[in-house]
Structure 1
Amino acid sequence: MLHLFKKAVVGLEIDAGEVRAVELKGSPAAPTLTAWGILSLPPAAVVEGVMQPDVIAQILKELWFMAGFSSHKVLLGVDNQGVMVRFADFPVVPDNRVASMVKYQAQEHIPVPLSEVVLDHAVIGETMDDSGRRLEILLVAGMRDVLDTYLKAMTMARLQPLDIDVTPLALLRLLPESNGHQTVLMVNVGSELSSIVVVEQGLPRLVRLVPTGLREAAALMACSLDEVLTEVGNNPPATWPDEAFQSWYDSLSQEIVSSLNYYQKPGTMAYVSKVIISGRGARVERLLEQLQEDLELAVEILDPLENIRVPARLAADLIPRAPGLAACISLARRGLKV
């Protein structure tokens, strides 16, 4: 059989600075990256949701044409303040009753009416307390009106949304198997926000979205987000002065340290052994060096292209930008299973 019609799916992110997308084709275990693309956004187009759906729709159409995507099937990743991730424990019940129990009790953990959110959950383990066995549940709630703005723009662009995923959790699927028995800290540095996730033996144990992204660097440098990204890639001291870098770094590193201190509070047995950086901010070369020195931990950049075939015609431009496309790659890979 020639397999001429292999399934193709696009992983898509739309943040405050740009839209980026990656198309994978073939099997989830060993896919081929067939196309990718990035386009910048006007400053007011996305602010905690899509404010200008018609503008985003047009840019998506341009991106599909420019990158040459063959598929209109899309799995979207989101990570804005309209997304809430909570950890809770509930009484142990049969599997077929977990969903109804979560729906009934989740309001205790979500600070807005459940009628205003799209709620999902995952069982991540069991624990014990004085009352007996308890299920450890990961709750994810997205503000319905915010998610609808993304869906509207995608529909206007004639795209077919397969699902919506939370970007920090999507990135967990890219952890190498060699990290499966370790506790690692994943930091995804984005345009507007950064995410901090503690992963213990492959499972999330702490998830935070913090308001320190590359836009803060743009404000410190009094330039556009695109200019920050261009200059950050080359890292010239003239346009990325020490004072600006240190101010931005201090803001991010304080969030990382507070997350580590919270997770590694007295009485816990697991300690973080490694920090893995992804996102557009992974191109800030001094970020890795200074984090490694200050945290006294190994710090490395996530390689999202492991076990993915990349044609030679795409590799040269793609590989330097791969950490910023990590979530898109993970989303597309999951989409191949949908």
Structure 2
Amino acid sequence: MREGEVVERQTVGSTIKRMWAEHKFSGKQVVIGVGNQRVVVRDLDLPAMPMAQVRSSLPFQVADLIPVAVDDAILDYLPTGVRQGEGGDVMQGLLVAATKDTVGANTAAVEVAGLRPTVVDLSAFALARVMARGEALEHTVAVLDVGARVTTVAVVTRGVPRMVRMLPSGGQDVTEAVAAALQIPLDQAEVAKRAIGVGFATAPEHQRAAEQITTVVSALVEAVRNTLVYYASSHPGEGVEHVFLTGGASHLPGLGQYLSTATRLPVSAGQPLDNVEVARGVASDRLAEEQHTLAIALGLAMGAAA
């Protein structure tokens, strides 16, 4: 994988196939989530029309909005609201454009594993689906999923995704910075990273590593802060009220407090299982501990179920 995209489809496909066999999954149909720097999400207002007409008209509407040729992109549209325009109703929504190469590489890896991809969904929409539930449905929240190389930001207002950004930074960048600073292997750097955290006092021998962690994390947090400031300025009265952290790299000690200080917003760990009934016989304690890593997968499953 490179920055959220499959590079070696045979290797990834073989790994998925082995996982399927080891855990005895019976289903062969799967939903694929995509979300990296080669997926573009833009605000787009269109004349109100049936969705079939919207999709057929997109190639003629978006040539100036995306950084790739329309013929090289897969396009979709998510309506988020309707407003009155001078000539009638105007549909507000989000344009999603993914390069065909990105989607093709990911689906090919799944097919190598002997599985059948039935839906390709945007990972940010999956996050919105699983996290904007319960009390969050009454507010504007931001869901921040910190992955290995990509951090996904989804701003959701009363359950509807209103803004999506994919930032090219994540937990692996922090690990590599620690490895370089301490001259240690990556597996040891992963352990050291979690022991050092961000914003804490540290031993002199770890000072260089702590500085590198702060450098990487501060750049990521600043990008998140700028995203939320931009959203607030372009959506008066609908600023983000709370930030939820998910993703495998979201449990870096001190990250939540660092982000809260920078954004002046409450930040808490996302609990995607709060609104999910867990079957008997499942190791619920382990699931609870690791649920921050499951948010996108759960959201993809919810979308397929709907």
TM-score bucket of the superposed structures, by smaller chain: 0.7 to 0.9
Cα distance in 2 between the residues matched to 1:225 and 1:205: 37
The reply on whether 1:321 has 2:278 as its aligned counterpart is no
When normalised by structure 1's length, the TM-score is: 0.78
Contact 2:58–2:75 (CA<8 Å) still a contact in 1? no
Distance 1:217 1:102 in 2: 39
User: Which of 66, 71, 91 lines up with 1:135 in the alignment?
Assistant: 91
Task: Quote the RMSD (CA, aligned, Å).
Answer: 2.5
Give the structure 1 partner of residue 80 of structure 2: 124
CA contact (8 A) 1:87 1:138 kept: yes
Whichever residue aligns with residue 256 of structure 2, its letter is: L
Partner of 1:155: 111
Per-residue CA distance 1:41-60 (angstroms, 9 max, x = gap): xxxxx455322111111111
Which runs of 5 or more structure 2 residues have no equivalent in the other structure? none
Aligned positions of 1:156-171 closer than 5 A: 156-171=112-127
Per-residue deviation, residues 90-122 of structure 1 (Å, max 9, x unmatched): 123355533333343132322222211111112
Whether 2:51 is the aligned partner of 1:51: answer no
Residues 80-99 of structure 1, C-alpha deviations (whole Å, 9 max, x = no match): 22211111111233555333
| Residue in 1 that maps onto 2:135 | 178
Residues 101-116 of structure 1: matches in 2 within 5 Å? Answer: 101-116=57-72
1:1-338 equivalence runs, <5 A: 16=1, 46=2, 49-94=5-50, 97-128=53-84, 133-174=89-130, 175-222=132-179, 227=188, 229-232=190-193, 241-265=209-233, 268-306=236-274, 307-337=276-306
1:234 positional shift:
5.5
Tell me the CA shift for residue 285 of structure 1: 2.6
- Shift of residue 216, structure 1, vs aligned partner: 1.4
Give yes or no for contact 1:276–1:299 (8 Å, CA) kept in 2. Answer: yes
Amino acid of the residue matched to residue 303 of structure 1?
Q
Distance 1:231 1:322, change over 3 A: farther
Q: Partner of 1:110: helix, strand, or coil?
A: coil
Q: Is the 8 A contact 1:215 1:225 kept in 2?
A: no
Q: Distance in 1 between matches of 2:188 and 2:46?
A: 48
Q: 1:224 to 1:200 in 2, by over 3 A?
A: farther
Relative contact order, higher structure (CA 8 A, sep 6+): 1
Separation in structure 2 between the aligned mates of residue 154 and residue 78 of structure 1, nearest angstrom: 13
Structure 1 residue 181: deviation in Å?
A: 2.0
Opposite residue 72 of structure 1, the aligned amino acid is K
| TM-score of the aligned structures, taking structure 2 as reference length | 0.86
1:156 to 1:332, Cα distance in 2 relative to 1, 3 A: same
Output one character per residue of 1:186-228: Cα deviation in whole Å (capped at 9) or x when no partner: 1110111101122112222221111121121022112666555
Distance 1:135 1:243 in 2: 47
Is contact 1:288–1:299 with CA below 8 Å preserved after alignment?
yes
CA contact (8 A) 2:178 2:192 kept: no
- Whichever residue aligns with residue 291 of structure 2, its letter is A
User: CA contact under 8 A between 1:214 and 1:225: conserved in structure 2?
Assistant: no
Q: Which moved more, 1:287-296 or 1:201-210?
A: 287-296
Q: 1:163 and 1:172, CA in 2 relative to 1: closer, same or farther beyond 3 A?
A: same
Q: Distance in 2 between matches of 1:267 and 1:155?
A: 41
Unaligned stretches of 5+ residues in structure 1: 1-15, 17-45
